[in-house]
Every structure is written in C-alpha cells, then in structure tokens.
Structure 1
Amino acid sequence: MVLNMLAFPSTPLVWMPADHRLLGDHDHAMPFLLLGDKYARAVKVGAQAQPVMFPLADAADVPALLAGVDGVVLTGSPSNVHPRHFGEAVADPALPLDEARDEVTLAVVRHALAGGIPLLGICRGFQEINVALGGSLHQAVHALPGHLDHREPKAAPLDEQYGPRHEVTLQPDSLLYRLAGGAPTVRVNSLHGQGIRRLAPGLRAVAHAPDGLIEAVEFDHAHAFALAVQWHPEWRCWDDPLSSAIFRAFGEALRQRRARREADARAFAAAPELP
C-alpha cells in the first residue's frame, strides 16, 4: 500500500463555517453561503493555514468532516445564536438569526473538543461555544443596568468601528495572559450586542470587561489549543501584538495536529494487510 501524500496539503486546513444570507432586492433575494474575508485572511496570514468551507454540511456530517481538517475557527457574524438553544424566546425579532449555522456549529464545538481538535472562537463563535456546552446569553447587554454598550458605532468608518474600545483584565494563570506577554490588561475592540450570561460547565472566564462581562474563555480539560474571545482579533491581526500571538499559537497547534495525522496515516500504510 502506498501512502497518498496528496491527502496532506502543504498547509494545515481550518474549517470555517458558512453564514446563510439572502442577498438582493426585495422579491429578488437569493440565498448565499458566506465567509468574511477578514476571518479567512487572518487564518491565511496570521496562522499560516488554509481556510476551507463545507457548504450545506449538516450536524450528521460533522465527525467525518472534522477528521479531514487540522482545526476550526468559529467566526463572528451579523446573526445571533437562536435563544431557543438556551431556553429563551427571541427578545428582538428585528435581529438576524441563522438556525442553519447553529445546527452545524453547536455540533462542531462538541465534537472538536472531544477530538482534541484546535478550536478558536470569535464573537458569535465565542457565544456558540458557551451555548453548545450548556451556557446562556444576555440578548441585549446594553440594556443591562451597569453595563457598557458594547456595540460598534455603525455610522463610523471601519477603522473606528474595529478600533480599541475598552480594556479587559486578564487572568494571570491563563493562556491568554501568556500570549499577552504577562500584561494584566489589554485594550480590545468591541462589536457585539449579546454576551455570556451563564458560563457553561467546563469553561473558565479568563478576561473581563470593566462592567464585569466575560470577554474570553478557556477550557478546563481541553486536549489541544482551545480559546474563545468576544472581541475581534481577526481585524488586521498582523498589526496588533496580542492578535498576532493568538493566531500564531493557533497555527502552531494546527501544525502539531497535522503532524499527528500524517504519522497516523504512515503507520496505517505501513501496517501489514490482513489476509
């Protein structure tokens, strides 16, 4: 038996979920499956990996698809996780939802963690991880007494929308703290209306905003790189030291997983065939 090395491309593969959107005017809207350029570019440049999508995958496909990739990035999105996944009704029907994405990504979280597959969650992805593991969300953080309005100024230029908005305080015994070079606080951007309400079992809060809102989580028993942040490190990640460090560490974990996959494939190819 000869090992087909084409099964292992020159760079690691990172599964990134598709957003389901209708694009077009009024009665001429058509369904599209979308991935934001800034997320794909951060994986390509910051993690030195190749983004991949699996359009129209469903939850039943997740284990087989995860077996062929080296990591997962759960991206941000204009849509929110449907609150039925944490036992609530929709508070604001005007806000977009994406139940087709929910079906896939909530399953991806559980299977990726169980399989020791590197996982990075950003904004919606951060919230998906919490919900998938049994946590809940505030549907409108800005409406909570004593909380900041974490939403971006939508009329402002993108550089301002994605500019630093507030500090987060980091837990000293965390991966994030080490990636920040031991800094007790860092300034991050803030572009979200929802946030963690009840932290899921197995997650540990490792960063907080000045209003106490959880801004980053790590995992009690992760078998590989596993980090999720509420802010947007993908935005020009090469210009920000912490963002660069996050994607660089994620990329290192991807290469470690790919090396294990290659070793397993070689061992399988070298095994004697059964009569």
Structure 2
Amino acid sequence: MSSFATSPRKADRPLVGVVCDRFFVGDHDLHSVKESYRRALNQAASVTPVLIPAAEDIDDVASYLDAVSGLLLPGGASNVAPGLYGGEEPAAFLVDPARDHVAMQLIRGAASRGMPILAICRGFQELNVAFGGTLHPNIYDAGHDTEHREDPAETMAERYRYKHEVTLAPDGLLSEWIHADTAIVNSLHTQGIRTLAPGCSIEASHGDGLIEAIRRDDHPFALGVQWHPEVTAEVDPLSQALFAQFGEACRRYARRP
C-alpha cells in the first residue's frame, strides 16, 4: 500500500485520477481535461484531481492507480471506437485510440481494487464497454429522441442547459440521494448504450428508452451518468449529491486499512 493511503491528512482530501483526452491543436499533440471537471472535483467532491495521460504505450496502469484513491472518466469530444464493442470500423466520427487504450485498463484495474469510479458522458459509455456492454454508434440513427443532440451553433451555456427529464430507478442510489423519482438533466451525446453490460444495473433512463445512468452491482462505488453534472455542480442538487458521494467514497477508500 502506498504511504499516501495511510496519511490521515491526505486521506481527508485524496488524489483522484482523471483520464485525459489526446488531440492536436495545430501541430501540437496535447493531453487535456476540461476545467469544469477539475472545479467540480475540487469544490463539490473536496478531492484533489490529478491528470492521467492518454498514450498507447501505457501498458500497465498499476502505478497510476497506486497513487490515487478514485478515478474520474470525463466526457470528451471523441467517441469510443466501435471495434471495442463489436461495431464496424472505421468510425464515422472522431475517435481517440490513446484514451480508449488507457481508459479500459484504468476502469478494470480500479474495479478490481474496489476503487471509487465516477464516469461521465464518454466515460459513462467507456464504463459500459469495459464490462462487456455495447453502444449505438449513433443514437439518432437508432431512432432515439433529438433531445440528446448537441448543437455546435449554440453558446456553451445553451448547449449545457437542462435538456430533458430522466426517470430514476426506485431502488437506485440517485433516487435515494435526492429523494425523488425523476430529475432534469443536461445530456448531449451521439453514442449511447445499446446493451447494458453484465453485472450493471440501470440508475436512470429517458422516456425514449435510452439508458442515462448505470452502476456496477458488485462494487462499492462505480457509477456512470450520460449527462454533465460537472457543469451544474454548484447549483443542482443531483449534481451536488453525485460529487459529494463520490468524494466520500474516495475518502473511505483512502482510509482503508
């Protein structure tokens, strides 16, 4: 066990790994995470985020997982490569093979340790794929509601506004945390869950049948949401509860014997 995990002071505000996107800006090859995720982890979860690079030559993520007490898989501009869930290649959208490579290892490695996992948007889809689920490469081609769609012509505030209602599972964590059976969310995405991974349960769903949140049944805290709670973590009760509960789970993990 790392010395970090046994330090009472550091266990009060543990490190949480955040997997990066990999992309080019001009000729520059970058690793990046949006500020909104860092801010939500810092303020709403009261943890300290650290970035994990996305690189295809990373073949052992144990050293990263040894150093952290939680894992956040954020949204991103790219989508999960179809070849990872039995779909056809090449993809008709932006992919990030480096992130796919690292994220799948991180999810499975964190799960094997019982480490808390919070997965958002692309991360939500990665969580499902990592455990054997499949995705719709394009939910609109599959007949799902246009309420999920992102319009690049809109301002950022308009894109991330509350879009639609979801039904919360009556026996789920989300409904328990906010004492409600529905919530309004700000999901915007192209991919979505087609078949739920074995060993996972539905936490929330849209009226068109699309799954919007899941949890891993045999795990202390492995939860994924399709929407963007990091944007509304300062004002929205469900977003606040999600990050607060994740932060508490990370502290429990950091204090384990």
Query: If the TM-score is normalised by the length of the shorter chain, which range does it land in?
Result: over 0.9
Equivalent-residue separation in structure 2 for 1:108 and 1:55 (angstroms): 11
Trace 1:79-228 onto structure 2 (pairs within 5 A). Answer: 79-90=78-89, 92-93=91-92, 95-145=93-143, 147-179=145-177, 181-222=178-219, 224-228=220-224
1:68 CA drift (Å): 1.5
Q: Mind listing any 5+ residue stretches in structure 1 that lack a counterpart?
A: 265-275
Of residues 235, 248, 265, the one that matches 2:244 is 248
Larger radius of gyration: 1
Equivalent-residue separation in structure 2 for 1:213 and 1:91 (angstroms): 24
Whether contact under 8 Å (1:162, 1:189) holds in the other structure is yes
Whether contact under 8 Å (1:112, 1:119) holds in the other structure is yes
Of residues 225, 232, 235, the one that matches 1:239 is 235
Whether contact under 8 Å (2:21, 2:54) holds in the other structure is no
Whether contact under 8 Å (1:14, 1:69) holds in the other structure is yes
**Paired residue type of 1:66:** L
**Paired residue type of 1:63:** A
Trace 1:55-66 onto structure 2 (pairs within 5 A). Answer: 55=53, 59-66=58-65
Identity over aligned pairs, percent: 43
**Paired residue type of 1:13:** L
1:63-95: CA deviation from partner (whole Å, max 9, x where unpaired): 2321210100000000011110011113653x2
Equivalent-residue separation in structure 1 for 2:51 and 2:144 (angstroms): 40
Partner-residue secondary structure (3-state), 1:60? coil
1:146-195: CA deviation from partner (whole Å, max 9, x where unpaired): 5335122221121111111110001110111112x221111101210110
Whether contact under 8 Å (1:91, 1:139) holds in the other structure is no
Rate the CA distance shift 1:99–1:146 in 2: closer, same or farther, 3 A: closer
Equivalent-residue separation in structure 2 for 1:75 and 1:201 (angstroms): 22
Q: Mind listing any 5+ residue stretches in structure 2 that lack a counterpart?
A: none
Partner-residue secondary structure (3-state), 1:143? coil
Work out the number of aligned pairs and report it.
252
Equivalent-residue separation in structure 2 for 1:173 and 1:7 (angstroms): 34
Rate the CA distance shift 1:183–1:7 in 2: closer, same or farther, 3 A: closer
Rate the CA distance shift 1:6–1:199 in 2: closer, same or farther, 3 A: closer
TM-score scaled by structure 2? 0.92
Runs of 4+ in structure 1 deviating by more than 4 angstroms, as ranges, are: 3-8, 56-59
1:8 CA drift (Å): 6.5
Equivalent-residue separation in structure 2 for 1:8 and 1:108 (angstroms): 26
**Number of the residue aligned with 2:15:** 13
189-198 or 137-146: which moved more?
Answer: 137-146
When the two chains are superposed, the root-mean-square deviation of aligned CA atoms in Å is 1.9
1:122 CA drift (Å): 0.1
Equivalent-residue separation in structure 1 for 2:32 and 2:97 (angstroms): 15
**Paired residue type of 1:235:** V
1:206 CA drift (Å): 1.6
Equivalent-residue separation in structure 2 for 1:126 and 1:232 (angstroms): 11
Does residue 23 in structure 1 map to residue 39 in structure 2?
no
Partner-residue secondary structure (3-state), 1:205? strand
Rate the CA distance shift 1:92–1:59 in 2: closer, same or farther, 3 A: closer
Equivalent-residue separation in structure 2 for 1:215 and 1:100 (angstroms): 25
Equivalent-residue separation in structure 1 for 2:54 and 2:209 (angstroms): 38
Partner-residue secondary structure (3-state), 1:227? strand
250-259 or 144-153: which moved more?
Answer: 144-153
TM-score scaled by structure 1? 0.86
